[in-house]
Amino acid sequence: MTPQDRPLLRGELRLAGRLDSRFFDLLAAIAVTGSLQKGARAAGYSYKGAWLVLDAASALTRAPLVEANAGGRGGGGTRLTGEGQALLDAWRQLQRRLAGFLADEEARLTEQPGLAALLKRMSMKTSARNQFHGRIAAVTPGPVTTTVRVTVDGGQQITAALTTPAAEELQLQAGQEALALVKASEVVLVTDFGGYRLSARNQLAGTVSRLQRGAVSSLVGLTLPGGTVVTASVTNDAVDALGLAPGQAATAVFKAHAVMLAVRGAD
């Protein structure tokens, strides 16, 4: 499945708040294999764990869901009781109905392009704390490096430098929607330039709005004009040295090479 094919909506179904898809995988595996041991292995349970979860489920239903077959020439085994099979059938019907409901609701969302685009951005999973949404303002190709300027939603511009082959593969062009990703560890906070100018292309002035102190380092949130927040990972020693505190003016500085760009592929 490609990133474009991933559904916008997902839902987890549970019966009685406890019986989830893994439990019903166990019932289905027992029905197929005729063995609790094999069914437990297929569903990722230990033999004892399978017995415990089945016992707890039987307490909820007030009826046994599996029963042991007497041993004979073919040996013993385990099969679903009528109640167990009925519960499994009901689960499968509910899963089909849930899938249909989610598909219908996703179709409704896609009729609202702005909302659908927002949800798709939210579905992207990455370790980079800073994810700035915007549109490409300019693409300047070079023989080795291509420079890309992105105007983010707050109105600021972020410059990214990437290899020209990478830019060509992404088919970057002005006006294209893009995400600029920057790790918090790549962001340097400056409270006083002392008359110096820095070579880093990205220098975003704002106000410290959040300070989350950890054992060794702190996460500092810097709110820019327009509401965009830049997060920096700063050592506690640096926090103390700079006297960082909410309400303080500061500038987030990071190199163009620290910016990763993400664009949507063709639908």
Whose tokens are 């017995």? That residue is 51
Residue 235 reports pLDDT greater than 80: yes
- pLDDT at position 2 is 42
Classify the C-alpha dihedral 36-37-43-45 as positive or negative. Answer: positive
Dig out the tokens for 214 from the structure. 């950890």
CA 17 to the chain's CA centroid: 24
For 126, 186, 192, the CA distances from 129, given in Å and listed in that order, are 8, 11, 25
Query: Average pLDDT of 57-79?
Result: 78
Query: Residue 11, Cβ neighbours under 10 Å: how many?
Result: 11
Structure confidence by residue, pLDDT tens digits, 28-51: 999 999 999 999 999 889 999 999
- pLDDT at position 114 is 62
β-bridge partners, 204: 252
- pLDDT at position 254 is 97
- pLDDT at position 123 is 52
Domains for the chain: give ranges and CATH numbers: 3-110 (1.10.10.10), 124-262 (2.40.50.100)
- pLDDT at position 126 is 56
Check if the beta carbon of residue 191 is closer than 8 Å to that of residue 158.
no
The residue among 115 and 53 whose pLDDT is bigger is 53
- State residue 76 phi and psi, 5-degree precision: -85, -175
Query: Which H, E and C letters describe the chain, residue by residue?
Result: CCHHHCCCCCCCCCECCCECHHHHHHHHHHHHHCCHHHHHHHHCCCHHHHHHHHHHHHHHHCCCCEEEECCCCCCCEEEECHHHHHHHHHHHHHHHHHHHHHHHHHHHHHCCHHHHHHHHHHHCCCCCCEEEEEEEEEEECCCCEEEEEEEECCCCEEEEEEEHHHHHHHCCCCCCEEEEEECHHHCEEECCCCCCCCCCCEEEEEEEEEEEECCCEEEEEEECCCCCEEEEEEEHHHHHHHCCCCCCEEEEEECHHHCEEECCCCC
pTM to 2 decimal places: 0.56
Dig out the tokens for 200 from the structure. 């880093």
Query: Average pLDDT of 204-229?
Result: 93
Residue 85 reports pLDDT greater than 90: yes
Average pLDDT value for the chain? 86
